[in-house]
C-alpha cells in the first residue's frame, strides 16, 4: 500500500519535497556548524584535522536527517493522506 502511494504522482511530489527539505536542512546546518567552529575556536578550514571533518560531517548528516524526518510527517499527511 505504501509503495503504491509512493509510486503515484503525489508520492513522487512527496519524495521530491523530502529531497528539497534535506538539501535546505543540510545547507543551513552546514553553515551553522562550520561557521560556528570557525568563529568560536578561530580554526580556519585549512587547519582542520581529518577527525574534525569526519565528526562535523556526521553531525551535519544526523541533524539534517532529523529535520527531514520531522518535516516528513506533515508533508506525508499533506501529500499521502486522504482526499478529505
Within a domain: 52: yes
Which triple of cell numbers denotes residue 81?
Answer: 493522506
How many domains is the chain built from? 1
Within a domain: 7: no
Within a domain: 40: yes
Q: How confident is the model at residue 83 (pLDDT cuts 50, 70, 90)?
A: confident
Within a domain: 1: no
Within a domain: 69: yes
pLDDT of the residue at 84: 65
- Which secondary structure element, helix H or strand E, spans residue 12, and what is its range? helix 9-41
- Tens of pLDDT, residue by residue over 22-70, are 999 999 999 999 999 999 999 999 999 999 999 999 999 999 999 999 9
Average of pLDDT values for 2-28?
95
Task: Report which of 64, 60, 62 is spatially closest to residue 72, judged by C-alpha positions.
Answer: 64
Report the predicted TM-score, pTM, of the whole model to 2 decimal places: 0.88
d(CA 12, CA 79): 9
Within a domain: 8: no
Q: How confident is the model at residue 81 (pLDDT cuts 50, 70, 90)?
A: confident
pLDDT of the residue at 50: 97
Within a domain: 66: yes
Within a domain: 78: yes
Structural domain including 57 reads 26-84
Amino acid at each position: 500500500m505504501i509503495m503504491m502511494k509512493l509510486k503515484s504522482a503525489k508520492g513522487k511530489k512527496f519524495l521530491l519535497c523530502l529531497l528539497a527539505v534535506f538539501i535546505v536542512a543540510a545547507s543551513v546546518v552546514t553553515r551553522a556548524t562550520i561557521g560556528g567552529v570557525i568563529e568560536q575556536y578561530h580554526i580556519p578550514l585549512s587547519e582542520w584535522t581529518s577527525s574534525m571533518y569526519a565528526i562535523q560531517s556526521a553531525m551535519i548528516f544526523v541533524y539534517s536527517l532529523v529535520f527531514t524526518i520531522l518535516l516528513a510527517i506533515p508533508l506525508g499527511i499533506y501529500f499521502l493522506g486522504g482526499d478529505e
